[in-house]
Amino acid sequence: MFKTRVTEMLGIRYPIIQGAMLRASLAELAAAVSNAGGLGIIASAIFPSAKELRDEIRKAKSLTDKPFGVNINLFPATRPMPNEEYIDTLIEEGVKVVSTSGVRSPEPYMERLKKSGVTVIHKVTTVRHAVRGEEVGADMIAAIGFEQGGNMGMDDVPMLVLIPRVVDSVTVPVLAGGGIADGRGFIAALALGAEGVVIGTRFLATHECNIHPNYKEWMLRSTESDTVITQRSIKNTHRVLKNEAAAKVQEMETKGAPVEEFFTVIKGEMGRRVMEEGKLDAGMALCGLNVGLIHDVVSVKELIDDIINQAEIIGERLDSLGVFTLK
């Protein structure tokens, strides 16, 4: 029922792609998503070198025989990203899908990836970046709306408007992301013209995700009113859960603090303590608006099965009303 160009091109059962969520996007989660019929993603940016990334790819290969991908981070970072080495490594290991995300263009890496038969999914938050992504050779565009957690761009366009605009502006398949947590969001994205979805925050609250139980319990206690947008003053907007670190960043923004001062709160070690140690006020806690739709911690398979089952029921109901025909 949900076969699209995305499922055909990626060789997956359902058009559900796991978002790259830094320390949460490791082999166990990626393999679980792929085994459940979607496409899991390993985030390369958390590994200090290509050797550690290679080890993680091999770990994922030991856990699944299904396709999975690797994310290449194109955001400016506090440490240089050895993306060329990451790409050499994933190609050598036979990874056939790469997602790219960030304010920079994937163009410098595109020729190498395409020559090696790698499918490239480029994440964007604006129509202009979607068009540019297709121009430089991206095979799919992941258009992520204002509702998303983590880095959300500067244009503040919600998924309901962004997806149709991107679908009308490119010819390659479009993935929709931002606020999707269940079958309702999934089928809504398809109705908007997307051929698949990217889900990030909802996968955090799964058994296979490695983040600390305190973080997951915090998510279950939170609603859509418990996130805040930070770092707009330094053009690096992030949606995060409200905590002491977020409040401190907001105070810095009010005072007009220099960029360097922000790194005392938002640097990687602080985020690691939140996600891995469960120190909930230690650093920034990336989280989307769909946290308000998350009420339990389940297995990845249960989550994906529930999304598909709910979407099928909704689709059949709309079909019976003559509103929406599933083919």
Measured CA distances, 247 to 20, 184, 262, 265, 281 (Å): 25, 33, 12, 10, 10
| 90 alpha carbon, distance to own chain's centre | 19
Nearest to 143 by CA among 316, 317, 19: 19
Residue 326 lies in a domain: no
Amino acid found at 91: I
Q: Is the pLDDT of residue 229 over 70?
A: yes
pLDDT mean over 191-207: 97
Q: Are residues 11 and 96 in the same domain?
A: yes
Torsion sign over Cα 46, 49, 54, 55: negative
Amino acid found at 171: T
pLDDT tens for each residue of 171-188: 999 999 999 999 999 999
Q: Are residues 83 and 219 in the same domain?
A: no
CATH code of the domain in which 20 resides: 3.20.20.70
Predicted TM-score of the model (pTM): 0.94
Minimum mean pLDDT among 151-160, 163-172, 270-279: which range?
270-279
Give the range of the structural domain holding residue 107, as residue numbers without chain letter. 5-210+297-320
Q: Are residues 222 and 281 in the same domain?
A: yes
Element (H, E) at 143: strand 140-144
Q: Are residues 111 and 182 in the same domain?
A: yes
Residue 206 lies in a domain: yes
Q: Are residues 197 and 229 in the same domain?
A: no
Residue 325 lies in a domain: no
Question: What is the domain count for the chain?
Answer: 2
**Strand 238-241, strand 227-230: pairing:** antiparallel
| 256 alpha carbon, distance to own chain's centre | 30
Contacts 24+ apart (CB under 8 A), 78-85: 78/263, 78/267, 78/268, 81/44, 81/45, 82/49, 82/50, 83/44, 83/109, 84/109, 85/49, 85/50
At which residue do the structure tokens 């790698």 appear? Answer: 118
Element (H, E) at 116: none
pLDDT attached to residue 268:
63
Residue 327 lies in a domain: no
pLDDT tens for each residue of 34-75: 999 999 999 999 999 999 999 999 999 999 999 999 999 987
Paired with 286 in beta bridges are 240
Taking the CB of residue 327, how many other CB atoms lie within 10 A of it? 5
pLDDT band at 212 (very low <50, low <70, confident <90, very high): very high
**Strand 150-151, strand 238-241: pairing:** antiparallel
Q: Are residues 144 and 77 in the same domain?
A: yes
Residue 59 lies in a domain: yes
Residue 222 lies in a domain: yes
Q: Are residues 128 and 141 in the same domain?
A: yes
Tokens of 278: 């469960």
